[in-house]
Amino acid sequence: MRHLLLLAILLPLVVVGCGRDPVRPAKPKNVSIEKGDAFRRFVDSVRYHEHTTAGEEWTRFRSALDLLSGHFASADVVKSAREQSAEQRLFLKSEADLTEDEIAEVESTTFRSADAHYLDECFLLNEALRSLELDETPSEQRAEDIFRWMTRNVLLHEQGDSWTPPAFTLRRGRGSAIERALVFLAMLRQARIDGCLIVLPEKDVKHFLVGVVAGDEKSSRLRLFDTRLGLAIWTKDGQRPASLHDALAEPTILSASQITADHAKKLEAWLVCPLYAMAPRMAELQKGLSRHLAVTTHLRAMDLAKNVRTASGLSTKVWNPRKEAGAAENSPTRCLRMFLPKQEGGVDESHRATLAGLARLPLADIFANYAEIQFTDRLLPPTAHAIMTNITVSLLNKYELQPREMFLRGQFDPLLRRFERLQAFAQDESLFGLVDNEQFRTDLREWQKQLIDANANASHEDPKMRAKAQQDMQALWNRDQFIGWMLALDKEERLEKKHEKTVLTKVLAVGMREHFEAELLYVQAALHQEKAEVAQSLLRRQQAANAAAKLRVQEDWDRAASGWRFYVERVAIESAIERILRKARAVVPNPKNPFDQIDRQIGLLETLHLTIHKYFHAKLAQVECLERMEGAKGTPARLRAIQAEIETLLKNGAVAADIKTLSQDRFAKEQPRNQKRLTLLARDWGDAGNLAWIKRHVEHRLAKAS
């Protein structure tokens, strides 16, 4: 598998885990373990730093947990944890259906290896929640604002792996309807709001909604949200948000979610109870942290079950199928443990976390661009190709993955500083149109010859020749001071003429410049919308907003609408489809690895599908921004235009035809992973696909607007 062949090169930069030993808390050396001190130090040591390598975010929690080992080893804390374990053990066995091994993970009084990943998720979501500034907002409105944030930040886009844990889904920025629901519910836990899934019981769950417990204890009810449709459910007259009671009384309001009247009679409430959230040690951790930070790390599942049962009146259970013969089924309870490799506290042996890290990178498209100028692994010395791959991944880490993390955490100032530097690369006109530039082609051939010549002496029997070859190779890469400036983000250095752009910059521009240019526009538009959303929320809570405040909010929406328009115009979806299909058809077979061609072709089609989904997300976001500025009068016409565009795309058939052709390839048939990838791609063009659900989203909004 080509992805696994890349692991040796990419491991330090993009994989989720790094093969470190499990967390074994021991008494830290030279550290004062006063209770307040330890938790303060913990909070300080896990603070996110903008230069953290993507995939390494969790490691600071692994080391920081050592600071708390003295506190958690004390007799009173151990006694309290054991008492809580005894209190909930029957629930964990009979209602949560945990295995003995899973119960041991929950009841451990010392931290487990996977706790670092779980806490990374809690802190990430907590920072995201704080960036929304919803503290004084009623819980029902808070839930709706959180749902809208989730739909903005997790595209409905299912490809490859499923049952990805919330933090990994968020960082990837896309997921299935179930994965979106898990992100939404995890965010609600940070807001101290109870929620569940309202499910039609099926072996392979297809029909479900998210229910949120709203109102006070005496009159609590379940608000309904559809993570596949991307909308809250409203009453039939469209006058107010619908509750579960409304839906059961008038099931037709669920028709857009493809839940029928017969389905409505069978609905159940299924609880999402992550394994590590239920651990008593997390209750003690939350209590200790509360003096410094209001972060939710613990879920008391018994109380959640009681609250949901009261609010819903439905049959209620934890979604965690009992383990029968063979391996346990995946579930919201098990998904983190079944995702992580063994060395990080999980049980996976199939490289899921590693492949998820690689899936965040648009390598298929970038390598296809390099191939257009014959800059490939088959035409370069292995050392040179490895160096080039590392530089490519380093740039993606610094200008795509790290900015994504800053965006989610609401750290907009460092994000903007990062993008100021990226503009020097993505918007430099001298780096446009290089594929057809004859002078660049001549310079590239000479540079490749120098790389080959330097590499030829890398294994020479004469040590002096080997040393000279190494020096020559380093000089060829280090001559490009512009790329050095791009990578040295820890240095506050202005771009100057001395930062020379050599052939290296131009090769990287062929591979990555267009991607970065589009990504820059996309994130800038999303950033303007996030600022507008927060400003609108604050304005809504003001008793008497002045004209100046209203004008500032309007200006925020205007910048967001303009940002989305620039992105949509830049993408030019029809030409983008044609361009990527042409690249996929042009992939050259690799005699040394017959699976390489099909893997690259599928990767390009996955890139295309993501581009299509981002394009329609941008168009819908633009409609929303314009509606906030101008009112709803122009909304129906704009939505109908999007509806027509989706229908034209679905009827075109070019992409679906290429997927069908690849599905017949014998190398696709021989690999289950590639079969699954192609199945998901093909489904996108049918009634159950993501494009169909985007179309239903538009139709539902049209019906409501009318």
Average pLDDT (126-153) is 94
What separation in angstroms does the CA of 334 have from each of 163, 184, 211, 338? Answer: 9, 17, 21, 6
Q: Which amino acid is at 596?
A: D
Q: Helices 463-478 and 382-396, interaxial angle, to 10°?
A: 30
Express each pLDDT in 43-67 by its tens digit. Answer: 999 999 999 999 999 999 999 999 9
**Number of residues assigned to the chain:** 706
Express each pLDDT in 619-659 by its tens digit. Answer: 999 999 999 999 989 999 999 999 999 999 999 889 999 99
Express each pLDDT in 566-611 by its tens digit. Answer: 999 999 999 999 999 999 999 988 877 878 889 999 999 999 999 9
Longest dimension (CA), the chain: 86
- More confident of the two residues 367 and 36: 367
Cα–Cα dist 532/148, whole Å: 13
Q: Indicate left, alpha or beta for 663 from its phi (over 0: left) and psi (-120 to 50: alpha).
A: alpha
Model confidence at 544, in pLDDT bands (50, 70, 90)? low
Cα–Cα dist 31/174, whole Å: 41
Cα–Cα dist 518/608, whole Å: 13
**Does the pLDDT of residue 252 top 70, yes or no?**
yes
Model confidence at 292, in pLDDT bands (50, 70, 90)? very high
Residue 381 has a pLDDT of 87
**Six-digit token string for 275:** 């394994």
- More confident of the two residues 79 and 496: 79
Mean per-residue pLDDT of the chain: 90
Residue 74 has a pLDDT of 96
Residues in Cβ contact with 474 at an 8 Å cutoff, skipping those fewer than 6 apart: none
Burial class of residue 601 (count of CB atoms within 10 Å of its CB; 0-12, 13-18, 19+):
buried
Average pLDDT (456-483) is 83
**Does the pLDDT of residue 33 top 60, yes or no?**
no
**Does the pLDDT of residue 516 top 70, yes or no?**
yes
**Does the pLDDT of residue 24 top 50, yes or no?**
no
- Tell me the HSE value of 198 on the side-chain side, using a 13 A CA sphere: 33
Residue 645 has a pLDDT of 96
Residue 301 has a pLDDT of 97
Average pLDDT (300-312) is 95
Percent of the chain predicted with pLDDT > 90: 75
Q: Tell me what percent of the chain is helix, strand and coil, each rounded to the nearest 5.
A: 65, 5, 30
CB atoms closer than 10 angstroms to residue 661: 12
Residues in Cβ contact with 491 at an 8 Å cutoff, skipping those fewer than 6 apart: none
Burial class of residue 51 (count of CB atoms within 10 Å of its CB; 0-12, 13-18, 19+):
exposed
- Which DSSP category does 400 fall into? I
Residues in Cβ contact with 468 at an 8 Å cutoff, skipping those fewer than 6 apart: 457
- More confident of the two residues 24 and 169: 169
Residue 457 has a pLDDT of 76
Residue 591 has a pLDDT of 79
Do 270 and 199 meet the contact criterion of CB atoms below 8 Å apart? yes
CB atoms closer than 10 angstroms to residue 209: 29
Do 312 and 244 meet the contact criterion of CB atoms below 8 Å apart? yes
Instruction: Identify the bridge partners of residue 208 per DSSP, sorted by sequence position.
Output: 199
Parallel, antiparallel or unpaired: strands 155-156 and 174-175: parallel
Residues in Cβ contact with 475 at an 8 Å cutoff, skipping those fewer than 6 apart: none
- Which DSSP category does 341 fall into? B
Average pLDDT (298-303) is 97
Alpha-carbon torsion (487, 491, 495, 501), positive or negative: negative
Do 536 and 513 meet the contact criterion of CB atoms below 8 Å apart? no
CB atoms closer than 10 angstroms to residue 294: 14
Residue 660 has a pLDDT of 94
- More confident of the two residues 471 and 410: 410
Cα–Cα dist 538/143, whole Å: 15
Q: For 252-316, what is the HEC assignment?
A: HHHHHHCCCHHHHCCCEEEECCCHHHHCHHHHHHHHHHCCCCCCCCCCCHHHHHHHHHHHHCCCE
Q: Model's pTM, two decimal places?
A: 0.93
Which of 181, 182, 150 has its CA nearest to residue 165?
Answer: 182
Do 67 and 42 meet the contact criterion of CB atoms below 8 Å apart? yes
The most confident of the ranges 17-26, 135-144, 191-200 is: 191-200
Q: Cα 118 from chain centroid?
A: 15
**Does the pLDDT of residue 23 top 50, yes or no?**
no
